[in-house]
Amino acid sequence: MLITCPYCGPRNVSEYTYQGDGNRTRPDPASTDQAAWNEYVYDRLNPAGDHHEIWQHSGGCRAHLRVTRNTLTHVVTEVSFARDAGHRKSERHRKPGAHA
């Protein structure tokens, strides 16, 4: 699997570190909203298809990247610097407590 870093160009996935789901919104640290924290920590979309992810080019320029990767084919369709784009608002959320 290749990820094309906006700075370094196409590099092997072994140079990158997965930093998790890119759809999450961290609640206000002062918040005591249990449902919001539960969703942030545990609930994942787990889609079969395009997935928004955060990767770090740890074996290269060390930048954090927003990547859209297809979980079925591993085709990476979109890569940008996380710091430029800011947080991508989730398109949808799993409802807390919902069954798969």
Partner 1 sequence: MVEQESPLKPVWQPGSHGNFAAGIGVYLSESAPGSIVQLAAWAGKEKAVLQAIKAVAGLKLPDGAGGGAPGEARAAFGFAPGKFLVIDEQEGLAERFTQALDIETGTVTDLSHGRTAIRIAGPKAEWVLSKFFAIDFSATAFPIGAGRSTVHHEIFVHIQRSAPTQFELYVFRSFARSFWQALCRASEEVGYEVQ
The answer to whether 17 contacts partner 1 (rule: CB under 8 A) is: no
Q: Minimum CB separation from partner 1 for residue 8, in Å?
A: 7
- Residues paired with 99 in a beta bridge: none
67 and 76 Cβ atoms separated by less than 8 Å: yes
Question: Are 92 and 50 a contacting pair, CB within 8 Å?
Answer: no
Question: Does 96 sit near partner 1 (CB under 8 A)?
Answer: no
User: Which residue of 4, 46, 75, 83 would you call a contact of partner 1, by CB under 8 A?
Assistant: 83
What value, to the nearest 5°, has the Cα angle with vertex 71 and ends 40 and 64?
Answer: 60
Position among 40, 60, 79, 90 found at the interface with partner 1 (CB under 8 A): 60
Which residues sit at the interface with partner 1, rule CB under 8 A?
A: 6-9, 11-12, 14-15, 59-63, 81, 83
